[in-house]
Structure 1
C-alpha cells in the first residue's frame, strides 16, 4: 500500500466530485489517518469523539451526515455500532486502480459497490443517526458547525437503472459538454454486460455511472497529456544542431 499514491488519488477524485464540501474532506482525511495508523487494515474501529476533534467537526449530526455521505458515495463502508463501549467499524476503499488489496480496489465506474458488502436489516437513518428526537427530524447541524448544507436547491432526479435508449445517453453526455463518442462507448460497454458491474451487481443509477465514466476518461486524458508534454520536453532538450562553427572565439 503506497501512502502517497493513495492520498494523491483521493485528492484527484475530490477535484471532480462536486458533492463534497470541506467537512467531508476533513473527515475523510481524519479517517485516512486512522487507516494509516492501523497499517491500512482491511477493516478498523474508530472513536467518534477522536474523529470529530481531528476533523474539527463540532456537531454529532454533522459527523453522522458526513460519514453516511462518504459511505453512500463509495469512498468507504460505515458499520455503526450500537455498543457505547465499542467503536464503529470502517472499511476504506483503495482509490488508486494500480494498487490492489485482496483483489478489490475502488473503480470510479462502480457507483454502488458498497451495497455488495453492506449487511443491513433496518432503515438507514435509524442506524446512522442517534435517535434523540431531533437529528432524525431536522437533519441539520446543531451548534457551531454549519459547513454541511441541508438545503437542496436542485430538483431531485429519480435514479434509473438503465437508459431508455442510446439517444438518451448521447443527450446526457451532450448536456455535460462531453464527447458523444464516449457516450456511445459507455452505452455499448454496459449494454453488452446487461447493465451489470464487474462484480455481477445490477447498476442502480446509470446517470451516476456515466458521471464516473466521464471523470475517469477526463483523468486519463489529463495524464496522457502530461506524459506527452514530458516526452516533448525531453526531445527538445536532446536536440542538437549539425551546423557547428568552431572558428568563432569563445
Structure 2
C-alpha cells in the first residue's frame, strides 16, 4: 500500500462528496491512522473511546452516526461488536488507487484549497540567513502557469474519454448534458476546472446508485413473495 496515494485519493473524493461534514473527515482520518498503524491490514479492530478522542468527537450518537454514514457511503465497512472486551472491526475501502500512475490523477480543482492555506504568488526569500549572511532564494519558478483541463469542447470529446476508460457511454451523454446545461459549474457556483476527474466521480456515483436500486428491487420482490397467498387457502379453519 502507498500511504500518499491512498490519502490523496481519499481527499480527492472528499472534495466532491457534498454529504460529508468535518466530523466525518475527522473520524475517517483517525481510522486511517489506525489502518496505517496496522500496516494496512485487510481489517483491524478499533476502540470507540480512542477513536472519539483522536477525532475530537464528544458524543456517542455523533460517533455512531458518522461511522454508519461512512459505511453506507462505501468509505469503509463497519462491523460493530457487542463484546465490551473486543473492539469493532473495520475494513477500509481502497479508493481509486493502483500500482500504475493514473492519467489525469492530479486535480487542478483542488488548487484553490491549497492556495487558501499556502498561497504561492512569487519567489520566496528565506528569512533565516546562513553563516555567510547571504539570504537564500528559492530557485523554483512558482509563477509558472498551470494548465487546466476546464471543460470539454464537445460531446464527442466526452464520449471518447468514457470509451477509453471503458465507462458506460450513456453515463457520458448524461454527464455532458447535465454540466453543459449548468454552463460547467458545480453546485456551489464554481467553474469546473478538471472535467475528467469530475467525470470519474460521476461514474462512481452512478454505479453506486445502480447497485443500490438493484438491492432495493430485490428486497421489494422478497417482501411481495412473503405477502403472496394461495387461492386455495382456507381462512375458515381455526388457527
TM-score (norm 2): 0.46
- Larger Rg over CA atoms: 2
Higher relative contact order (CA 8 A, sep 6+): 1
TM-score for the superposition, normalised by structure 1: 0.44
